[in-house]
Amino acid sequence: MSIAEHRDQSTSASTTVAEIERYWREILRIDEQRPIDPTHSFFEYGGSSLQAVALAARLSDRFRIDITALTIVDHPGVAQLGQYIDAQIQDFSDFGEQDEGLL
């Protein structure tokens, strides 16, 4: 992996995490001044199963990938969820590149 590719992935990851944090703040009503620890769980911040469903729906719409409440349970921290989303986007992108080779 080149330095530029690594930098692009790092930028993408930090952008994804920032967007997840924004949705967490909206759904959980976390004040902007309160830091979110990227390793703490959505549920540690007071999230409920219904709020996890709402978060999953918003993230699915935003990133155009399938995210369910179970995804939030399996990847409960902002950092974990960001890694999962970025991996899903990358897998989808890789699949698209392979598909283009068939045409």
Q: Which residues contact 20 (CB under 8 A, 6 or more apart)?
A: 59, 78, 81, 82, 85
Buried b (16+ CB within 10 A) or exposed e, 1-15: eeeeeeeeeeeeeee
- Sequence-ordered alpha helix ranges (H) in 1-103: 3-28, 49-63, 69-74, 78-102
CATH topology assigned to domain 3-102 = 1.10.1200
Tell me: pLDDT of 100 over 70. Answer: no
Tell me: pLDDT of 9 over 50. Answer: no
Which sign, positive or negative, has the C-alpha torsion 89, 66, 82, 56?
positive
Tell me: pLDDT of 90 over 60. Answer: yes
Taking the C-alpha atoms of 88, 90, 91 and 92 in order, what is their torsion angle to the nearest 10 degrees? Answer: 90
Question: Which pLDDT does position 91 carry in this prediction?
Answer: 78
pLDDT in tens, 29-44: 999 999 999 999 999 9
Q: CB-hemisphere CA count at 13 Å for 72?
A: 24
Instruction: Give the rounded distance of the alpha carbon of 12 from its chain centre.
Output: 11
Q: Are 45 and 36 in contact (CB under 8 A)?
A: yes
Residue 94: band (very low, low, confident or very high) from pLDDT cuts 50, 70, 90: low
For the chain, what is the mean pLDDT?
A: 84
